[in-house]
Chain A
């Protein structure tokens, strides 16, 4: 360390305060019980993450006793969790490319990634899961439309070829809140700015991700800049529904014009969802309450809240009601409220812990619920779980599968394995139970 680094270290030690209270073993035990997978014993014949490639020389340098013969087995054992298939699964890179257009928009498309990633089977993964790329995406941002997948990467909006996992086009985008891209026709809408009294949306060409236009939606009152999620959605009428302060703004995506506002009876909108038939609008307010509006008259039908929690968001609407996510701290789970009545809400799936999210997705007429414990599909009409599978762990560290979306015959999920420092897009083949005889 040089002098500057030493001074920074001294400063950090000097002014970092003492904690107000210690962590106790009892608190840790409570977490273990609430996250059962953490309790499992280590799998045999697999080394802990501390013995991954990078640490071996560290331990040697630190004169830590290493079990004899360990180094010889590191590579094989470290890879045992993710074994490549016998045949090369990677198809040639897509020829699709993005084209940067001369535009006044602050977003410019850039050259897509053209390298092909060999598919990797995930040991114990659900529904034949195989990793088809190694990109990192924002949780809950993956959507499927027009034969492509879309997700937010690190500061980017990416279009992904589901056949290869390649990034077919990319554009700069960094939504300020967890709101997935909204695809209407051949346009991808992205939340660009959400602060003060305005909402800014940007539109991109769904194929090339070239910027098309920006739309400013004035809010009434301040927007829920710190608590919003899913603040933009689309209805079957092809309009955009935007949580805009004390209102929900209905916007014509063709010309960016405000069609009308739906005024809330109280509070600030922080999540919106429209039923598939376009009759109902679900509005999350203050992360505690959901209001239901009749869209034929724009009048409120009812409101309800989820017992025992002060966190409700990420709304998704289906024919049978509304779905969302709740949770506190670093544990989240998905609920389903029949007919939108949160007083009758039931928990779906086993949720997620450790900072992962369990956000519902509605794709191909089925609701999907991922997380770090189970992966489930459920009937959108009544919330009944059609199939569920336990997710694997890696060296007792949970593996995360986001709620899948469907493209073609496959389901796609954002995957993260913290123990192996592996992430990317996973392709799965869901069972017939998930897709047969489902009435949306």
Chain B
């Protein structure tokens, strides 16, 4: 195993901690939508932030660190799905058990994750970037390394699939009881 010493010798870039503290929650939520579980979401975010650290100064000058982090997250997610050979086994999901959950929210999350699980990886990434992270089509295309046209195509197909997903269509029209 690698010897994990030397953390104390790393020079923390100016402003990096503020960014992590301010944006990690939003990035983790995007990671959760991509992967469907918190450990994987944390893996994604940590990997992306670690890749961002050495480039922080220039990214900050460009005012685009979050764009870069999201790009690394999406591409890591796509690679991860490829590593798993697209061999997801459909299983039942245990509901989230946080105390503030009401049954409607639990059901909604289950429906949402089940619907996202049925999307191909790239369609899922487009949904998260476009509709959750509020990225433009161009930004989404850049993050995914594809054309704007491809983003539009993925989005259209994803919406069509989500429209037919059990339980989700009602949520999209009726919202979630809170």
Tell me if B94 is interfacial: C-beta within 8 Å of chain A: no
Contact B32 A28 (CB under 8 A): no
Contact A57 B175 (CB under 8 A): no
Tell me if B42 is interfacial: C-beta within 8 Å of chain A: yes
Most chain B CB within 10 A, of A33, A176, A356, A416, is at A33
Contact A28 B53 (CB under 8 A): yes
For B61, list chain A residues within 8 Å (CB).
Answer: 65
Contact A416 B79 (CB under 8 A): yes
Q: Tell me the minimal C-beta distance from A314 to chain B in angstroms.
A: 12
| C-alpha spacing A51/B155, complex, angstroms | 24
Tell me if A357 is interfacial: C-beta within 8 Å of chain B: yes
The B interface, classified by DSSP as helix, strand, loop or mixed, is helix
For B172, list chain A residues within 8 Å (CB).
Answer: 4, 7-8, 11
Tell me if B109 is interfacial: C-beta within 8 Å of chain A: yes
Known contacts: A54-B142, A396-B55. The answer to whether A19 contacts B79 by CB under 8 A is no
Tell me if A287 is interfacial: C-beta within 8 Å of chain B: no
A417-433 toward B: CB 8 Å interface, digit per residue (1/0)? 01001000000000000
Q: Tell me the minimal C-beta distance from A241 to chain B in angstroms.
A: 20
B81-92 toward A: CB 8 Å interface, digit per residue (1/0)? 011111101000
Contact B32 A20 (CB under 8 A): no
Contact A50 B67 (CB under 8 A): yes
| C-alpha spacing A20/B79, complex, angstroms | 25
In the complex formed, the residue of A with least CB distance to B49 is A28
Known contacts: A33-B6, A50-B64, A54-B138. The answer to whether A27 contacts B112 by CB under 8 A is no
| C-alpha spacing A48/B136, complex, angstroms | 20
In the complex formed, the residue of A with least CB distance to B10 is A29
Contact B54 A178 (CB under 8 A): no
The A interface, classified by DSSP as helix, strand, loop or mixed, is loop
Contact B142 A23 (CB under 8 A): no
Contact of A19 among B41, B80, B82, B159 (CB under 8 A): B41
| C-alpha spacing A149/B144, complex, angstroms | 29
Known contacts: A39-B10, A48-B59. The answer to whether A178 contacts B47 by CB under 8 A is no
* Number of A interface residues in the complex (CB < 8 A): 80
For B53, list chain A residues within 8 Å (CB).
Answer: 28-29, 32, 38-39
Contact of A330 among B47, B131, B141, B171 (CB under 8 A): B47
Contact of B82 among A5, A20, A58, A138 (CB under 8 A): A138
Tell me if A384 is interfacial: C-beta within 8 Å of chain B: no
Known contacts: A25-B16, A32-B50, A356-B83. The answer to whether A14 contacts B76 by CB under 8 A is no
A18-52 toward B: CB 8 Å interface, digit per residue (1/0)? 11101111111111111110111110000011101
Contact A30 B7 (CB under 8 A): yes
Contact B7 A29 (CB under 8 A): yes
Q: Once A and B bind, how many residue pairs between them come within 8 Å at the CB atom?
A: 234
Q: Tell me the minimal C-beta distance from A354 to chain B in angstroms.
A: 5
B 1-56 contacts with A by CB, 8 A: 1-2, 4-7, 10, 12, 16-17, 20-21, 24-25, 27-29, 32-33, 38-39, 41-43, 45-47, 49-51, 53-55
Known contacts: A28-B50, A136-B82. The answer to whether A395 contacts B55 by CB under 8 A is yes
Contact of B28 among A19, A26, A28 (CB under 8 A): A19
Contact A24 B20 (CB under 8 A): yes
Contact A16 B33 (CB under 8 A): yes
Tell me if A386 is interfacial: C-beta within 8 Å of chain B: no
In the complex formed, the residue of A with least CB distance to B159 is A4
| C-alpha spacing A397/B145, complex, angstroms | 15
For B1, list chain A residues within 8 Å (CB).
Answer: 308, 347
Known contacts: A396-B54, A396-B55. The answer to whether A16 contacts B85 by CB under 8 A is no
In the complex formed, the residue of B with least CB distance to A13 is B132
Contact A59 B64 (CB under 8 A): yes
Tell me if A408 is interfacial: C-beta within 8 Å of chain B: no
Contact A27 B46 (CB under 8 A): yes
Contact of B27 among A10, A23, A29, A421 (CB under 8 A): A23
Contact B83 A355 (CB under 8 A): yes
- A: residues with CB less than 8 A from B are 1, 4-5, 7-20, 22-36, 38-42, 48-50, 52, 54-55, 57-59, 61, 64-66, 136, 138-139, 141, 152, 154-155, 174-178, 195, 225-226, 308, 329-330, 347, 353-357, 395-397, 416, 418, 421
Could you pull out 20 A-B pairs where Cβ atoms are within 8 angstroms? A5-B159, A11-B171, A12-B33, A14-B178, A19-B42, A23-B45, A25-B17, A33-B5, A35-B50, A38-B50, A54-B141, A54-B147, A58-B139, A58-B142, A65-B63, A175-B87, A177-B87, A178-B84, A329-B43, A347-B1
Top 8 closest A-B pairs, CB basis? A421-B145, A19-B28, A9-B131, A31-B50, A58-B138, A355-B80, A55-B142, A23-B24
Given A152-B85, A330-B80, A355-B80, 6 extra CB contacts under 8 A:
A17-B109, A22-B25, A25-B16, A29-B12, A30-B7, A38-B51
